[in-house]
Amino acid sequence: MTIKRLLLFGLTLLAILLSGLSLFGSWQKPQFQSSLELYQTNIVLQAQAWQPEQSNDENLKLIQAAIIGEDPLDNATKQYLEARQSVQTNLDKAKAELTKQRQLYPPQTSLDVTVPTPPKPLPNIQTSEVIKEKQLQKSISKLEKLLDELDLQLGILQAKQGQTDKALKTWSQLQKQQVTELEKTAIVLSGLWNNPPKLLPNAEQLIQKNLNGWFRSTALIELYQLQQRPDALLAVQDAQQQAATEAVFKLTIIGTIPTLTAFIGALLLFFLLGQRLVKGKDSVLAQNDDQRWSTPWNVETILQVFVLGFFLMGQLFIPTLLSILPIPHLAGNARSEAFYVLVSYVLVASGALSVLYFSIKRFFPLPENWFRFNIQGNWFWWGLGGYCTALPIVVIVSLINQQLWQGQGGSNPLLQLALESKDGIALGIFFFTAAIAAPFFEEVLFRGFLLPSLTRYVPVWAAILASSILFAAAHLSLSEILPLSALGMVLGVVYTRSRNLLAPILLHSLWNSGTLLSLYLLGS
């Protein structure tokens, strides 16, 4: 075995180790889906307050019922209870981890005179443990604040359903020794729904500051009614109606377009599968299904591209380079975070594609169908049809996946940034990164290079499966492996049948664009 092969073997083990640590590090992280469901629940709550001008129109009532569902307050309460339970579980785990940490590495005080001086390596370990302890304390503080916010909102939901005793009990959980803004707000809400009511002088300011959306307008309406302020009451009711109208519009887009697309995709999928059973090798799905690529390189080149160009570039080289370069990265600044994500992604993509180019350069000119971009042909219909069929498949897999992970397993951090960003320029940068840069780079690497390379050793269907699992694992989130593997298999089928990289790039771009559009509507 040559030195080059030994080095590549060692780097492969390092890449597997780093990627495995990142994957298992996402085990305890919450799924983005949990936050997304609460955002959608809040929009449904706004929409249920919608009262159209033709309030007696039965068709409008049916449309509203179809959009928001039956008993939206009860459904929202169940959603918030589930979210609260998930946060409480994570909080308990973090506190247990902190207790375990302190038992293993108890803080030394001036009274510990009998403790012998530790050897030199120990202070470094303790320093890392101190950092870990601070991270745990920070995580606990965030979870406790989130739990308080959920209790504020859950109490309002209970109060609006006539469950006043439950609401008062929920708000009482916030009243601790150290009174914060959220706890003061809980006291205000308890006063509003108490019998008799108790109005505090700073009630309006606390409600405006610590509640949002339907929860804020509901609390303000209750306050203004008790204060007998008709002008303020009318103003907040008008604002509530305007927000409700916008919420109905958003839910119509978010619900109608994906549902219609998924329905078309399901019909198309049944048609293609039926045609495959009836026509066999003459069907559309059988096109190129067993035709392998002529691959001039071996597994060593494949490992070289992925270990050096993708995993180590993304896990070591680029993060180190970004820590040295004076690139602004201000937490909480949407434009700064969006620009940082774009720069880091472009650097990783450029590095990986450079390694790919120099690794296969000696095999030029490449055999037929390698890295084929052909503007002619039916690639557009393959990409669009693939997107439609991917929707019902990934939705079903995602529903199963949610039951398996129960809100854990982590998610792509870009999704949360896109959801919370209200800056148009930042959203534009996110869109370029996710809907243009990512589809091009990932499809060239996974479908353009990896999938055809694997056909040297395994059949086409096995190459599709293997490349899909690696594509999912490369996103370094355990909870996303199943749905992204399903998406990767559709991308693989589209590419092997069309033999044109434009088809999976279009499908990938449509997928990411649809996700970003939904996030924008939910977060706006």
pLDDT on residue 177: 53
Residue 397: closest CA among 479, 500, 299, 464: 479
8 Å CB contact between 452 and 366: no
Task: Annotate 175-209 with DSSP letters as a single string.
Answer: --SS--HHHHHHHHHHHHTSSS----TTHHHHHHH
Query: Which stretches in the chain have pLDDT values below 70?
Result: 1, 25-35, 52-67, 69, 105-129, 175-178, 327-332, 406-422, 523-524
Residues 148, 381: Cα–Cα separation, whole Å: 50
pLDDT on residue 110: 44
Question: Which tokens sit at 76?
Answer: 């929202």
pLDDT on residue 89: 82
Residues 239, 351: Cα–Cα separation, whole Å: 51
- Residue 421 neighbours by CB under 8 Å, 6+ apart: 334, 338, 427, 430, 523
pLDDT on residue 111: 44
- Residue 65 neighbours by CB under 8 Å, 6+ apart: none
pLDDT on residue 115: 46
- Residue 19 neighbours by CB under 8 Å, 6+ apart: 311, 315, 473, 474, 476
pLDDT on residue 229: 92
Residues 378, 63: Cα–Cα separation, whole Å: 38
pLDDT on residue 29: 65
